[in-house]
């Protein structure tokens, strides 16, 4: 079963974001402050799962299917960026005007079988966000595969313990999601796990505060934008509808394109708030003609 999902975007307040941006990640942050231009900001792409044959995903609900890419699509993205001399890397290693960070949420087995070989073959890296409780479940990456990926230079981050949205959770439950997932991955890999991707993209000021206390140095969100060196890292979602020219535009740090992406996301959020998330999903299914 596919377990991709539409990450709900819930931007943290500007005040909280700007305060978080003032600290942490000092190296990249200072570079941003010195130069400050678009070239100094890094696009961080979000992928989910992949398929080789259309039949593999034909059973999945439409809302989930849009987050599944064919391996051919992904290969096209990698080859286009490589041909333009962009360097595809993990969030942790991303640096410089040619860097494009690749992230993969949910630990789907296709990240190991399809994506990892493509990255290794070209000397690229990526950050794989793993739900600790899902390790080794049907259709998910298992422990030995994770170790193999980590040893080859891939970064492994936490995507929570159970994939529960963190915003609004009681403190003990939130801490458990943040800490137990981190500890379990660290124990498994023998390396520090200091990056978290927010399950379902849900975030508020408390989530950022508790994540910092739990020892994370970077929180990847689902809010559209470029990484500028702050604690909260915006990302750009890639769906099956995202064309390779858009991927190239993101790599180019195309301000107009990224501005349009942010505006579209804000509009979707507005509609969701207005009619409710459940009604919004029903509306999407009707528009897309999907089950
Ligand atoms: Zn997720």
**CA 72 to ligand 1 center in whole angstroms:** 23
- CA of 35 from ligand 1 middle (Å) equals 33
Residue 7 CA to ligand 1 centre (angstroms)? 7
Q: 99: which strand partners?
A: 87
| Gap between the Cα atoms of 127 and 157, Å rounded | 7
Q: What domain range includes position 34?
A: 14-288
How far is the first Cα of the chain from the last one, in angstroms, to the nearest whole number? 16
Phi, psi of 70 (to 5 degrees): -75, 155
- HSE-CB at 129 with a 13 A cutoff on CA atoms is 33
CA atoms within 13 A on the CB side of 93: 17
- Residue 124 falls inside a structural domain: yes
Cβ 128 vs Cβ 185: under 8 Å: no
Q: What is the pLDDT of residues 92-110, one digit of tens each?
A: 999 999 999 999 999 999 9
Distance from the alpha carbon of residue 239 to the mean position of ligand 1, in angstroms: 14
Q: Mean pLDDT over all residues of the chain?
A: 85
Q: Is residue 5 part of a domain?
A: no
Query: Structurally, how many domains does the chain consist of?
Result: 1
Residue 7 lies in a domain: no
Please report whether residue 110 resides in a domain: yes
| CA dist., res. 291 & res. 283, Å (int) | 11
Give distance in angstroms: CA of 37 to centre of ligand 1: 31
In a domain, 235, yes or no: yes
Q: Could you give phi then psi for residue 42, rounded to 5 degrees?
A: -120, 130
What residues form DSSP beta bridges with 55? none
Length of the chain counted residue by residue: 291
Query: For 6-37, how does the pLDDT look when each residue is reduced to its tens digit (9 = 90+)?
Result: 444 334 443 343 333 333 333 333 343 444 56
- Measured CA to CA, the distance from residue 71 to residue 89 in angstroms comes to 18
Q: What is the pLDDT confidence band of residue 55, given thresholds at 50, 70 and 90?
A: confident
Ligand 1 centroid distance, CA of 162 (Å): 10
- 8 domain-assigned: no
Strand-pair partners of 51 = 70
pLDDT above 90 coverage of the chain, percent: 70
Q: How far is the CA of 287 from the centre of ligand 1 (A)?
A: 24
pLDDT value at residue 21: 35
Q: Write down the pTM of the prediction.
A: 0.82
164 C-alpha to ligand 1 centroid (Å): 9
129, part of any domain: yes
β-sheet bridge partners, residue 109: none
Predicted confidence at residue 253, as pLDDT, reads 97
Other CB atoms within 10 Å distance of the CB of residue 212? 16
Share of the chain above pLDDT 70, in %: 78
CATH of residue 53's domain is 3.20.20.370
Question: Does residue 6 lie in a domain region?
Answer: no
């Amino acid at each position: 079963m596919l377990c991709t999902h539409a990450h709900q975007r819930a931007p943290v307040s500007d005040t909280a974001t700007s305060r978080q941006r003032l600290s942490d990640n000092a190296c990249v942050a200072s570079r941003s402050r010195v130069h400050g231009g678009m070239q100094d900001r890094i696009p961080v792409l979000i992928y989910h799962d992949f398929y080789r044959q259309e039949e593999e995903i034909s059973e999945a609900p439409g809302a989930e299917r849009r987050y599944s890419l064919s391996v051919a699509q992904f290969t096209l993205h990698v080859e286009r960026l490589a041909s333009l001399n962009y360097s595809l890397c993990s969030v942790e290693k991303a640096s410089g005007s040619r860097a494009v960070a690749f992230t993969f949420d949910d630990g789907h087995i296709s990240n190991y079988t399809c994506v990892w070989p493509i990255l290794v073959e070209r000397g690229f890296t990526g950050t794989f966000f793993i739900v600790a409780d899902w390790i080794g479940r049907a259709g998910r990456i298992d422990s030995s595969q994770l170790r193999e990926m980590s040893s080859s230079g891939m970064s492994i981050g936490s995507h929570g313990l159970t994939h529960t949205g963190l915003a609004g959770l009681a403190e003990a439950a939130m801490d458990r999601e943040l800490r137990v997932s981190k500890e379990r991955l660290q124990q498994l890999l023998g390396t520090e796990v200091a990056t978290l991707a927010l399950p379902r993209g849900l975030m508020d000021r408390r989530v950022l505060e508790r994540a910092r206390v739990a020892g994370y140095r970077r929180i990847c969100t689902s809010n559209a934008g470029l990484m500028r060196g702050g604690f909260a890292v915006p990302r750009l979602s890639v769906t099956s509808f995202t064309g390779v020219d858009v991927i190239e535009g993101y790599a180019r740090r195309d301000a107009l394109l990224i501005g349009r992406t942010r505006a579209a996301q804000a509009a979707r959020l507005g509609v969701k708030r207005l009619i409710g998330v459940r009604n919004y999903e029903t509306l999407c299914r009707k528009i897309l003609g999907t089950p």
